Amino acid sequence: MRAFTTVTATVAPLDRPNVDTDAIIPKQYLKSIKRTGFGQYLFDDWRYLDQGDLDIPVASRRPNPEFVLNQDAYRGAQVLVSRENFGCGSSREHAVWALEDYGFRAVIAPSYADIFFNNSFKNGFLPIILKADEVQKIFEVVAKDAASEVTVDLPAQQVKLPSGEVFNFEIDEFRKDCLVRGLDEIGLTLQNADSIRAYEAQRKASAPWLFN
Amino acid sequence: MNAKTLYDKLWDAHIVRDNGDGSALIYIDRHLVHEVTSPQAFDGLRINNRKPWRIDANLAVADHNVPTTDRSQGIADPISRTQVDALDSNCAEFGITEFRMNDLRQGIVHVIGPEQGATLPGMTVVCGDSHTSTHGAFGALAFGIGTSEVEHALATQTLVLKKSKNMRITVRGNVGPGITAKDIVLAIIGEIGTAGGTGYTVEFAGEAIAALSMEGRMTVCNMAIEGGARAGIVAVDQTTIDYVQGRPFSPTGENLDKAIAWWKTLHTDAGAKFDREVVIEASGIQPQVTWGTSPEMVLPIDARVPDPSKEGDAVKRSGMEKALAYMGLTANTPIEQIKIDKVFIGSCTNSRIEDLRAAASVVKGKKRAANVTLALVVPGSGLVKRQAEAEGLDKIFLDAGFEWREPGCSMCLAMNADRLEPGERCASTSNRNFEGRQGSGGRTHLVSPAMAAAAGVAGHFVDIRSFQ
């Protein structure tokens, strides 16, 4: 997994609550059996005026000029800011893959749906929880000057604004450690293989029907 | 001994290693696998030269991509076919049991797990699908996972999890005539909101939940995730125990007696503490219809489309305006006057035999309305389909001008050919009314099977309680 330490970048604002995973990456793209290449379809229904599919080249499609990611000022943004309950809906990890493949490294919102939040950490993508008024402040900063860069400092657990203002955020220590060091969680778990086998032996004795 | 919630008991019974920081390595008893979220996980195993930890804990089925029309000749769409073929070859390579597309036992993963007895009380059940919460109806700890966790569960039979908080939603008293499990859960989501359950495991309790069949409890737990809760659970009782016996994966003989003794302990102890309690009066629940693009945007059938100008909160008001624009609805329109173009009866929420019986009883001897261009009935599994046909339900639907299809996820998420065209409006028994969910530009109204069937006959939403 790609490690995450510090990112300084411009911010794309997506000013709506309940941004669901169907909106982040629509169903037709979930037919891909690869883990890469989803960035071009990120927010597909909002980003393009015509319908897309895996076999339609995006270059042939009509971008929606109204959508934030199609505006020059926000090209190159690596941080997304949005509202409550970001990533609600389906468990599709393709949503995180699409954000990450597009070039986003982090998202800032007041709250997230659990599965999306959890999936993010498996992909070197950081979902940051800030208070609603802090999120509002970032929207205002970006609205005033789209070229404003924020710094996300994971080791320090801080988001720094160009004004020098700093917002602290909380993060689970284990998750932070995995992200900062880019650790493979399966490898870590397999270090506990003996504990897993011991659990199974005890469980097989007390509830053998679970092992049919 | 401390009084424990059902969730506490399930969590404690599956701890392989407590990390001491609120997280633990949790053992997974059952892993259900489908074609959409697994190919990259199997690739991960191959890249890292890993094997599944315990093959018999896995059960696989293709459901999202499969056509619901004749499929004896395979899948025409090459991209869908590639994904289903990938599942077939991955299961063959790793020795995982799979019900293939033309197997009678094939169906929606959340229908076949319980149907086969592969979902049992007290288990941890995971699947790369958010509606895995369905299986919580059996007093199992069941939740959706992403593809990285699918790979983790395959490789280690465990997941690293942080314990959620405990919430109990008590539906007190009994619902009125015509009110179904779907109306109960939509009313709950309307009450707590789509993020109300975030961070919690929700136990559904109360007389109205206890009175539900297993099918009804599955409908309620299925939509726990639409209220933000990754897992919903219902305590084990005699209804549960009666349902799970005699199924292919269920225990028998001495093991069954042992199992039942344990299952009977799977309820919240008197005096156990919940972090949040919500109480809803069952008698106040009316037939529910969603009007917007989030399941919390739901109202009783006799209500009117809400007016954003009356909403004080700016973020909410803007969300309502966007939803109404997308849905093509005008504020203050009576819900009963909303005309529909299509009907979808199916999905992991409402495609079980009881759902099909409820819908069939409404359409029996009637005809699909002229303005309804398509009314799809998609059974949840091949076995549900066979049962329905044995009861003559297929004939009732066909006589009424409804289509009777092969099992799968179908127009719940429109990964196969079943979908809404831009601007089309659908009365749907599925679980999500998000923008584009049933097809780009499609407009979804979530309802119960009986309400969907009645809308298909009337051409607009009607109150099932007065529908003749």
Average pLDDT rounded to a whole number, residues B325-330: 98
The answer to whether B91 is annotated as binding is no
The yes-or-no verdict on residue B122 having pLDDT over 80 is: yes
Task: Please tell me the total count of domains within chain B.
Answer: 2
Residue with tokens 């399930």: B10
- A158 in helix, strand or coil? strand
Q: At what angle do helices A114-121 and A94-102 cross, to 10 degrees?
A: 50
- Rounded distance between C-alpha atoms, residue A7 and residue B10, angstroms: 40
| B367 band by pLDDT with thresholds 50, 70 and 90 | very high
Q: Which amino acid is at B234?
A: V
Q: Which of A90, A186, A210 sits opposite B29 (nearest CB)?
A: A210
Q: Going by DSSP bridges, is the β-strand pair B15-18/B23-27 parallel, antiparallel, or unpaired? A: antiparallel
Chain segment A49-85, per-residue pLDDT in tens: 999 999 999 999 999 999 999 999 999 999 999 999 9
Longest dimension (CA), chain B: 64
Q: Contacts of residue A209 in chain B, CB cutoff 8 Å?
A: 120, 250-251, 255-256, 258-259
Question: CB distance B160–A93 less than 8 Å?
Answer: no
**Final residue of a structural domain among B225, B248, B263:** B263
| A184 band by pLDDT with thresholds 50, 70 and 90 | confident
Question: CB distance A55–B79 less than 8 Å?
Answer: yes
Which CA distances in Å does B143 have to B32, B105, B135, B140?
A: 11, 23, 8, 9
Average pLDDT rounded to a whole number, residues A173-179: 94
- Surface-to-core class of residue A176, CB atoms within 10 Å of its CB (0-12 exposed, 13-18 middle, 19+ buried): middle
Question: CB distance B37–A190 less than 8 Å?
Answer: no
Nearest-CA distance B391 → chain A (Å): 33
| pLDDT for residue B57 | 98
In a domain, B1, yes or no: no
- Rounded distance between C-alpha atoms, residue B297 and residue B331, angstroms: 13
| pLDDT for residue B410 | 97
In a domain, B69, yes or no: yes
Average pLDDT rounded to a whole number, residues B174-190: 98
Chain segment A119-175, per-residue pLDDT in tens: 999 999 999 999 999 999 999 999 999 999 999 999 999 999 999 999 999 999 999
Are B240 and B304 in a shared domain?
Answer: no
The yes-or-no verdict on residue B468 having pLDDT over 90 is: no
Question: CB distance B56–A93 less than 8 Å?
Answer: no
Global ipTM: 0.95
Q: At what angle do helices B214-222 and B109-116 cross, to 10 degrees?
A: 140
Q: Contacts of residue A115 in chain B, CB cutoff 8 Å?
A: 130, 144-146, 225, 230
In a domain, B277, yes or no: no
Encoded tokens for A91: 């468990």
Q: Which residue of A has its CA nearest to B152?
A: A186
Are B392 and B292 in a shared domain?
Answer: yes
User: Does the CA dihedral A149-A88-A17-A112 come out positive or negative?
Assistant: negative
Nearest-CA distance B260 → chain A (Å): 11
Average pLDDT rounded to a whole number, residues A104-112: 98
| B143 band by pLDDT with thresholds 50, 70 and 90 | very high
Nearest-CA distance B451 → chain A (Å): 24
Question: CB distance A33–B39 less than 8 Å?
Answer: yes
Average pLDDT rounded to a whole number, residues B181-209: 98
Secondary structure element (H or E) that encloses residue B397, with its range: helix B393-399
| pLDDT for residue B154 | 98
Question: CB distance A27–B414 less than 8 Å?
Answer: yes
| pLDDT for residue B259 | 98
- Rounded distance between C-alpha atoms, residue B399 and residue B367, angstroms: 7
CATH numbers and ranges of domains, chain A: 6-181 (3.20.19.10), 185-212 (no CATH)
Residue B159 belongs to domain with CATH number: 3.30.499.10
Give me the DSSP letters along A70-132: GSGGGTT--EEEE-SSBTBS---THHHHHHHHHT--EEEES-B-HHHHHHHHTTT-EEEE--H
| pLDDT for residue B1 | 63
Question: CB distance A118–B149 less than 8 Å?
Answer: yes
Are B167 and B309 in a shared domain?
Answer: no
Nearest-CA distance B145 → chain A (Å): 6
Q: Contacts of residue A35 in chain B, CB cutoff 8 Å?
A: 40, 43, 147
Give residues with Cβ within 8 angstroms of B436, minimum separation 6.
Answer: A22, A23, A26, A45, B442
Candidates B125, B57, B144; CA nearest to B95 is B57
Q: Which residue of A has its CA nearest to B24?
A: A189
Question: CB distance A115–B194 less than 8 Å?
Answer: no
Alpha helix locations (H) across B17-138?
39-47, 78-94, 109-116
- Rounded distance between C-alpha atoms, residue B126 and residue B159, angstroms: 10
Question: CB distance A209–B82 less than 8 Å?
Answer: no
- Rounded distance between C-alpha atoms, residue B240 and residue B243, angstroms: 5
Other residues' Cβ atoms within 10 Å of the Cβ of residue B410: 32
Are B443 and B330 in a shared domain?
Answer: yes
Candidates A97, A88, A154, A153; CA nearest to A123 is A97
Q: Contacts of residue A114 in chain B, CB cutoff 8 Å?
A: 164, 198-199, 228, 230
| pLDDT for residue A109 | 98
- Rounded distance between C-alpha atoms, residue B290 and residue B296, angstroms: 8
Are B243 and B362 in a shared domain?
Answer: no
- Backbone φ and ψ for B401, nearest 5 degrees, come out as 85, 15
Chain segment B217-250, per-residue pLDDT in tens: 999 999 999 999 999 999 999 999 999 999 999 9
Q: In what order do the strands lie in the sheet with B15-18?
A: B15-18, B23-27, B158-162
Question: CB distance B128–A196 less than 8 Å?
Answer: no
CA dihedral B337, B343, B347, B351 (to 10 degrees): 100
Beta bridge partners of A150: A9
Are B236 and B295 in a shared domain?
Answer: no
Secondary structure element (H or E) that encloses residue B356, with its range: helix B353-363
Question: CB distance A89–B432 less than 8 Å?
Answer: yes
Q: Contacts of residue A210 in chain B, CB cutoff 8 Å?
A: 29, 120, 123
The yes-or-no verdict on residue A99 having pLDDT over 80 is: yes
Chain segment B341-365, per-residue pLDDT in tens: 999 999 999 999 999 999 999 999 9
| Contact of B447 with B180, CB cutoff 8 Å | no
Chain segment B85-109, per-residue pLDDT in tens: 999 999 999 999 999 999 999 999 9
| pLDDT for residue B22 | 87
| pLDDT for residue B452 | 98
Q: Which of A45, A185, A192 sits opposite B152 (nearest CB)?
A: A185
Could you tell me how many CB contacts below 8 A there are between chain A and chain B?
Answer: 193
Q: Which of B36, B160, B322 sits opposite A16 (nearest CB)?
A: B322
- Surface-to-core class of residue A97, CB atoms within 10 Å of its CB (0-12 exposed, 13-18 middle, 19+ buried): buried
Nearest-CA distance A59 → chain B (Å): 19
Which CA distances in Å does B129 have to B38, B65, B144, B360?
A: 10, 14, 5, 29
| pLDDT for residue B315 | 83
In a domain, B94, yes or no: yes
Are B241 and B333 in a shared domain?
Answer: no
Nearest-CA distance A44 → chain B (Å): 10
In a domain, B467, yes or no: no
Question: CB distance A207–B414 less than 8 Å?
Answer: no
Structural domain of residue B353, as residue ranges?
A: 288-458
Q: Which of B148, B164, B256, B260 to mutate to test the interface with A (most CBs of A within 10 A)?
A: B148
Are B226 and B294 in a shared domain?
Answer: no
Question: CB distance A115–B230 less than 8 Å?
Answer: yes
| B62 band by pLDDT with thresholds 50, 70 and 90 | very high
Are B120 and B201 in a shared domain?
Answer: yes
The yes-or-no verdict on residue B373 having pLDDT over 70 is: yes
In a domain, B221, yes or no: yes
**Final residue of a structural domain among B263, B279, B303:** B263
The answer to whether B221 is annotated as binding is no
Are B180 and B292 in a shared domain?
Answer: no
Encoded tokens for B50: 């890993």
Other residues' Cβ atoms within 10 Å of the Cβ of residue B103: 14
| pLDDT for residue B316 | 87
| Contact of A23 with A88, CB cutoff 8 Å | no
| Contact of B272 with B205, CB cutoff 8 Å | no
| pLDDT for residue A212 | 74
Q: Which residue of A has its CA nearest to B148?
A: A122
Q: Going by DSSP bridges, is the β-strand pair B15-18/A166-168 parallel, antiparallel, or unpaired? A: unpaired
In a domain, B281, yes or no: no
Other residues' Cβ atoms within 10 Å of the Cβ of residue A69: 18
Q: Contacts of residue A87 in chain B, CB cutoff 8 Å?
A: none
Average pLDDT, chain B: 97
Nearest-CA distance B319 → chain A (Å): 7
Give residues with Cβ within 8 angstroms of B466, minimum separation 6.
Answer: none
| Contact of B168 with B190, CB cutoff 8 Å | no
Encoded tokens for A105: 């490294």
Are B200 and B314 in a shared domain?
Answer: no
| pLDDT for residue B192 | 98
Encoded tokens for A201: 């032996």
Q: In what order do the strands lie in the sheet with A166-168?
A: A126-129, A106-109, A79-82, A6-14, A149-153, A158-160, A166-168
Average pLDDT rounded to a whole number, residues B308-312: 95
Give me the DSSP letters along B405-417: --SSSGGGTT-SS
